[in-house]
Structure 1
């Protein structure tokens, strides 16, 4: 071990000397329903210059939508002759061993991995660290997309939205955040509630070049980011922000509800209406905050 490495490990003993930085690209946002189409795992070893990589494109046996292709660059033709997740599950689990796993928005990656491993009769017990949660604690930024945080941390991110590039960036952001914080305590970065009326949705017109231009989104409840930040991120994707749910709504984001506003059920009138429309056959996706963050970071 060289002197620089020894000094680093002595100064930051809370950073694991070995961990897996991981990212998955998927056919959608719902673990258990949607499928992994690409996985990359990089074995970070602070005691060595050797950082092995496991990466694979995977055949999900379902069509990849044009939206996913536009984001990732992964086409159906690229996946036709690839193995399935079940085919590579044993090799991936052996590669990761019992090392801790670092991912950006780890709840998303963990959910998909657990579902896919379960289908292969493999239990995933590795501990997950969320690089995004640490970054939210460490840095005050306008948004916490991986590209934004990576740029702030001077971490190269070439080929964003592909698994290997995102996994490497997540691992480096994790370490930079840990160094800044002085710990890896993943406390949920909840802020004080901000009134929903604090921002005018009409002040955030949709970006006509955004991937989701032509679709609409509605918010209910309180998020850990301000409503203005949520509106800005949604508008950047091309989403039109509406104040109420209708048959034309594509997404409803449900934050934490205040009981004196929604009553003891904890369910807002917007969510009740959305669920009723879904029962009638309308395609409305109800997202919690983590799922919304995954949407805007995709």
Structure 2
């Protein structure tokens, strides 16, 4: 192990030094019905900077659709003389061992792999880590398709929707996201929800010289700033702060909602009121915290 590798492993100790990056191509989307037609497992060994490949097409013993062929480039003829999953199952299980498995949209790959092993009476209980979920925490992107995130991380993805290429990209995206975040927690704990203190919006009259004078703004949910800080900022811009949504409301700023309060809909009463008014033709702009902070900065 060279000094640079040793330094990387110490600095990023939360990344497993060995893991399997895995991807499957399938006949469809339902693990209970559809079958695996291609599988790639890449053994990432960060101590040796070595990546051993287990890669094979698999005969599902069913016809694959034109849609799947169009998506993957895999044809029925290509699978005719390939092994069944049962033929390669033991070799795959030995290759993977007890290492954690990284996949992109891991719920999908996990479902298919476990179902294929279960059909053979074999339990497959390796821990799965989702590179897509980690990317959603690490990066702010227009979408989280593998190709989009790979491009963001400067990772080459020449042949998307083929198992080996996607598996390698998933492993590298996982590491890029982990290094960016400083951890591999796909679902970091949310800040505890604390109800805003009873800050009186009437204590923040609009600045008549502000660029937004004459505009009315309402807040719902929790922001990363206090209500007092938010009220002070918008009043300085000239906004008239109100506590309820009416036909005269121009902006509704939506923060994090307390699920125990808003219920299954996830919408506060103020958000629901906006929807009703919009249906009657009232133009109210609804913005999230990021848009709100951008407005303040501009």
* 1:1-298 matches, cutoff 5 A: 1-187=1-187, 259=264
State the SS of the aligned residue for 2:87. Answer: helix
State the SS of the aligned residue for 2:116. Answer: helix
* Residue 158 (structure 1) shift: 1.3
* Residue 49 (structure 1) shift: 3.0
Measured in 2, the distance between the counterparts of 1:88 and 1:45 equals 22
Measured in 2, the distance between the counterparts of 1:181 and 1:127 equals 20
- TM-score, L = length of structure 2: 0.63
Answer yes or no: is the 8 Å Cα contact 1:26–1:36 preserved in 2.
Answer: yes
- TM-score, L = length of structure 1: 0.63
User: Larger Cα Rg: Structure 1 or Structure 2?
Assistant: 2
* Residue 258 (structure 1) shift: 5.6
State the SS of the aligned residue for 2:143. Answer: coil
Match of 2:292 in 1: none
Measured in 1, the distance between the counterparts of 2:175 and 2:264 equals 39
Match of 1:206 in 2: none
Measured in 1, the distance between the counterparts of 2:184 and 2:47 equals 19
Change (3 A) 1:63 1:11: same
Measured in 2, the distance between the counterparts of 1:134 and 1:166 equals 16
State the SS of the aligned residue for 2:51. Answer: coil
Q: Which sections of structure 2, spanning at least 5 residues, go unmatched?
A: 191-258, 267-298
Measured in 2, the distance between the counterparts of 1:189 and 1:108 equals 24
Q: Which sections of structure 1, spanning at least 5 residues, go unmatched?
A: 191-255, 262-298
State the SS of the aligned residue for 2:24. Answer: strand
Measured in 2, the distance between the counterparts of 1:28 and 1:133 equals 22
Question: How large is the RMSD of aligned CA atoms in angstroms?
Answer: 1.9
Match of 2:293 in 1: none
Answer yes or no: is the 8 Å Cα contact 1:137–1:189 preserved in 2.
Answer: no
* Residue 259 (structure 1) shift: 4.1
1:73-127 deviation line (CA, Å, top 9, x unaligned)? 0000000111110110000000000000000000000000000011112111110
Match of 1:286 in 2: none
Measured in 1, the distance between the counterparts of 2:12 and 2:181 equals 10
* Residue 188 (structure 1) shift: 7.6
Number of residues of Structure 1 aligned to a counterpart in Structure 2? 196
Answer yes or no: is the 8 Å Cα contact 1:150–1:173 preserved in 2.
Answer: yes
Measured in 2, the distance between the counterparts of 1:28 and 1:157 equals 22
* Residue 172 (structure 1) shift: 0.1
* Residue 182 (structure 1) shift: 0.6
1:174-206 deviation line (CA, Å, top 9, x unaligned)? 00000001100121899xxxxxxxxxxxxxxxx
Measured in 1, the distance between the counterparts of 2:263 and 2:23 equals 34
